[in-house]
Each structure stands twice: as structure tokens, then as C-alpha cells.
């Protein structure tokens, strides 16, 4: 994973930012009031989790 894309929620903490930088992962946030895009991101996360569990 090279880019971690999320909304401006609890994952926008100093602890999370530090962890991502340590693992050389770029952090990106969605634009405010773009709920349709957030839904797409959440579906992609769900798909990745399902694929990881299937391995």
C-alpha cells in the first residue's frame, strides 16, 4: 500500500500520521462534503479486507 485515503475522521491523528510515515505510506483525505466519494472508498476498503481474509 503506497497511499492511504480516508475522510477527515479519527484517522487524522498524530499517532496515525506518524505510523503511516514510518511505513512510507502517503496519507490523503477526501474533500469536505463529498459523501459519494467516501462511499466508494469504504467499498474499496471492504473489498480489500475480504480479499485479505480469503488468502
Q: Which tens digit of pLDDT belongs to each residue from 1-55?
A: 788 877 776 667 888 889 889 999 998 887 766 666 667 777 887 888 888 888 7
What pLDDT sits at residue 34? 65
Grouping H, G, I as helix, E, B as strand and the rest as coil, residue 55 is: coil
Chain centroid, CA 39 distance in Å: 12
Cβ 32 vs Cβ 8: under 8 Å: yes
Cell numbers for 48, please give them. Answer: 480489500
What pLDDT sits at residue 7? 74
What pLDDT sits at residue 25? 92
What pLDDT sits at residue 42? 76
Cell numbers for 19, please give them. Answer: 505510523
Amino acid at each position: 500500500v503506497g497511499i492511504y485515503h480516508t475522510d477527515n475522521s479519527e484517522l487524522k491523528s498524530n499517532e496515525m500520521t506518524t505510523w503511516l510515515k514510518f511505513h512510507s505510506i502517503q496519507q490523503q483525505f477526501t474533500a469536505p462534503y463529498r459523501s459519494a466519494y467516501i462511499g466508494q472508498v469504504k467499498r474499496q476498503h471492504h473489498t480489500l479486507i475480504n480479499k485479505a481474509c480469503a488468502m
